[in-house]
Each structure stands twice: as C-alpha cells, then as structure tokens.
Amino acid sequence: MQIYVVQKGDTLTNISKLFGVPVDLIVSQNKITEPNNLLEGQTIIIPVEGMYHFVQQGEDLTGISNLYGIPLFEIISVNKLSNFGPLPVGFPLYIPRKSKTVIETSAYDDIGLTKDNSPKIISEIGNALTTLPVFSYQVNRDGSLTLLDDNPTLNAAFNNGVAPVLVITNIEDGQFSQELATIILNDETLQEKVLEEAIKIIEEKGYFGLDVDFEYLGAENKEAYVKFLAKAKEMLNNKNPNYKLSVALPPKTSEEQKGTLYEGHDYEAIGKIVDQVLMMTYEWGWSGGPPMAVSPLNKVKEVMEYALTKIPRNKILMGVPLYGYDWTLPYQKGGKWAKAIDQVEAYDIANRYGAVIEYDDLAQSPFFNYVDEEGNEHEVWFEDARSYQAKFDYVKELGISGLYNWVLGFDSPQNWLLIEDNFIPVKLFR
C-alpha cells in the first residue's frame, strides 16, 4: 500500500488519478469524513499493490534500491527502464511489495469503552488479529472477580478466528490500586481464590489463556508479584498445558528505574515465567502530563533495547496505541486534563479549525496546533500512517514475536490497513 502525505492544493480527484484508484475506495478505506477538504500534512493510504516512490532531487536508482531493500535489477525490470542514468525529479518509480512477516498480533478490547460495538469492531478487524485480551475482570479484596458481560464479544472473536484472552487487573474505583495489589499478593489463600476463579471462567467460556495486568505495584510487591505469576503459570499448566500466561509490563529502561509504576516489575524474573509479555510502549504523552507524542519511537526504542537484554525476543509483543490527546494550553500541572481522541477525530478537529498537520521526525509522530472558539490554544498529538509504519518497521527489525494495540474503541483505520499490508497474523484456530 502507498502512504501519501497530502500537499497544499491536493484533492482526492487528483490523488485518485495519480494512482488509478477510485475516490470512493480511498475514502472508505481511510474513513475520510471531509473528502472535499483535505488537510495539508494528512496521511492517506492508497490501496495498491506495492507503492510508488517519487524521485527527489539528488536521488539515484542505487540509493532508492538500498532505501527499500529491493534489488536494483527488480526496480529496473518492473518499471521497464531502458536508461539507467539520472531520473527526473518527481518521476514515479513503482516499488514492488516485499514479502510479509509472520507475527502474532493482538488488541485489548475494553468492553467498558467498546460496549455494544465490540462485536462489530471485531468482525471488521478480525483478520488482523491473533488474540483479543478482554479487559478486564477486576480483582476484589476478597479474591473474587467482578464479572463481565463478555459473551457477545467472545462469540464475535470465535466467529472471526480470534483467540480471546481473559485479563485480570488490580483496578479499584476506576484506577489501578497498589493497596489492593498488596492485599492479594501477600495472601496465598486470596491468590489461589483469584486464580481458581479465573481458570474456571477460562474453562467455561473458552478463553485461550490469562493475561495479568497489575500496575502501580511499588517496590514492596516486586518479589511477591513474581511468585504470584509463578503460581498462575503452575495452576494454568495443571489445568491445561495449552493455556498461555501473558503479562503487561510498564516501559522501563533499567531495573533501577524509580516510580511506583516501574519498581514492582522484575523484567528478567517475569520473562522466565510467562509465555508472553506485552510491553506498554505508550503513555509518554498522557492526559495529565505536558503535551508530547504518546508513543515517541525514540523512547520506544530505549525501552525495547533494554527489554531485549532481559526477556527472550520470541516472548515480546510491542505496544502500539490507537489514540492520541488534545491538550489545552498552557499546560499546568494538576490543571485540565487532555482529551483522548483517535485518528479520525484528530483529522476532524484539524479540519474544523483549519490546522496544518506537522510531523516530528525524532518521535516519528504527527501533531498540530489550533485555537478554539473561546480563544484557547490547543496542541494535539496522535498516530497516523507514517507513525504506524515506522513502528511496524521497527517490530520487523527487532524480530520479536509481534505487536499489540491499546485499545479498541478508538477509530484508527490506517493501523489495520498497514498491519495487513506488512504482516501475516498467526491464527491459533480457524
């Protein structure tokens, strides 16, 4: 597929003619809500086999061949070039599609967010997914689990060849609770009750495994959490060796990293126990913090490089967000929190206020600024086709098990188009 960045004066009609793809198809694939008002800097995915490279000043065929990793003779052949000399600036070179990479793909379905739309969303993206962690069965202080109305979601997953995974969390009163985690992790009887109930639900409902997402544990729970995961793995194996155990890990760059979010997770010890880790490589830009990219690739790389020194690469899924944030400026700590938005909403906002989409090359993330009707300045960071492709290229470069998205309910169509263009998702059943 071709990622096209809209230039000033572009129209869908012109873009359609350039690539020979119907306007309606471009609109539907990208969920473009304002087809007559394209934004400068907006990314559009053109559904074509392979892609086109428009020659830039100073480029030659050898450099372009190296850029895409496509043999020089193949580029010459498919473009029917008889002259190997300099190409004119703007010349469209067809770049054949490279072979796809087989990986595991996943996406958390927060039923509290997707609600009744969950089955519809799963039916639309099922081809792009290996597993579906269903978020979440919340652990209570007595060791019981708060149940979910997840049957419609599970039926949709089964019907679309996606393996559901039961997620348990230490969420209490709407947020992750260190106190709750401490109670559970320091009482073996409560731990067994939590795990027995989780395994019973897995058996009854047909889940493929258990995902543990305990956050903000603090240093005092570090060893106890490792023991809890070891117990979970043992109990799952005893019930059914095919049941898999995964765990969500916060983004650390060293074992000594300070903070309640980080200190309770021992990468190396956890990596030895579980079947899979889901790296939470996002939330650098978060709703209560200053404006910045949610998942800046330069920061993601720091985390992944460290993780690979502690955890086998065949156990790692890298997190990719489906959302961004709209901050009201000036940012004030403890002030108004940023609003979570998705890609479609970001473009709608930019269209409404006549913003130009810019791109941060270091973070590999798009952003824009605007002024609302009340004169308030805003800064928006989100994900687009360029940022998704940069992350997917990095997943391939690392040779890790795969990637996952957080979280369904945010409409980011280009993510799914590019997953299917870059990868062959593993399927655990058909």
The set of catalytic residues is: 215
The total number of residues written for the chain in this structure: 430
Note whether 328 and 376 are within 8 A (CB): yes
Distance CA 135, CA 167 (A): 5
End-to-end Cα, the chain, rounded Å:
26
Maximal C-alpha separation, the chain: 77
Q: Which long-range contacts (CB under 8 A, 24 or more apart) does 330-338 make?
A: 330/377, 331/289, 331/290, 331/291, 337/287, 337/288, 338/286, 338/287, 338/288, 338/291
Strands (E), 250-302: 276-279
Torsion of CA 265, 267, 268, 271, to 10 degrees: 100
User: How many angstroms from the chain centroid is the CA of residue 127?
Assistant: 16
Distance CA 260, CA 194 (A): 23
Strands (E), 22-111: 43-46, 51-54, 92-95, 101-107, 109-110
236 CB-near residues (< 8 Å, 6+ apart): 199, 209, 210, 243, 244, 245
DSSP class of residue 275?
S
Note whether 31 and 64 are within 8 A (CB): no
Note whether 139 and 170 are within 8 A (CB): yes
The Cβ-side half-sphere exposure at 311, using a 13 Å CA radius, reads: 34
91: helix, strand or coil = coil
402-406 and 101-107: which strand pairing?
A: parallel
Count H helices and E strands in the chain, helices first. 16, 22
Distance CA 24, CA 28 (A): 6
Note whether 153 and 418 are within 8 A (CB): no
